[in-house]
Amino acid sequence: MPTKKAPTWVWVVVGIVGLFVLGCVLLVGGGIYMFRQHVRTETASTQGVQEQFDQARTRFTGQQPLVEVRQTDNDRQVVVHKPSETAGRANLKSIRVLAYDGHEGRLVHVDVPIWLARIAMSNRRGSAHRNITINGENIEFDAGDLTFEDIERHGPGLITDVSDGKGSQVLVWAE
């Protein structure tokens, strides 16, 4: 008795589904790999953390941050010091973040490749109101359409330096 051969369209559908599943596995695996390569978390003492922040801050002595968070009484005000539209754009390599959560005693080092930072910020265009979260507290501010190009015009250096007065700190800079 001869065996029946499956129609060609069945093999095409099975191939497309197989490629889709393989693509999803590669995408998830690639995302996990990227995250593990660019994010490092550690438990640290307050004294050790302060030394790391002080050492990182020495590079930016006298430099005005691109985004400044000012504490006034019970309110925080965010001021964006946008560079001139005519300022040249620097060739940056990465955005670095040093963040410490004083409640959990956790220090996080993040090194975001510049191409990834560009993609992340390009998805936020058109929304001038932003929220940032510091130690579980949301702060809403008008970024004045802060763009990735503003960061490039600002060049390598301090983007923001924020602390909540309760031990938590965030330092962001471009290299």
DSSP 106-127: EEEEEEEEHHHHHHHHHTTTT-
Q: Percentage of the chain with pLDDT > 90?
A: 19
Residue ranges of the domains in the chain? 8-38, 44-174
Distance CA 123, CA 60 (A): 29
Average pLDDT, the chain: 81
Lowest pLDDT segment from 9-18, 46-55, 69-78, 134-143: 134-143
Instruction: State how far the Cα of 113 lies from the Cα of 96, in Å rounded to an integer.
Output: 9
Condensed to tens digits (0 to 9), the pLDDT of residues 136-173 reads 555 555 455 678 888 899 999 999 988 877 778 899 99
pLDDT of residue 175: 93
More confident residue, 57 or 166: 57
What Å distances lie between residue 115 and 37, 120, 141, 148, 173, CA to CA? 15, 9, 25, 11, 15
Residues 30-55, mean pLDDT to the nearest whole number? 83
Give the mean model confidence (pLDDT) for residues 79-83.
Answer: 84
- Whole-angstrom Cα distance, residue 143 to residue 138? 15
pLDDT tens string 98-131? 999 888 888 989 898 888 888 877 765 444 445 5
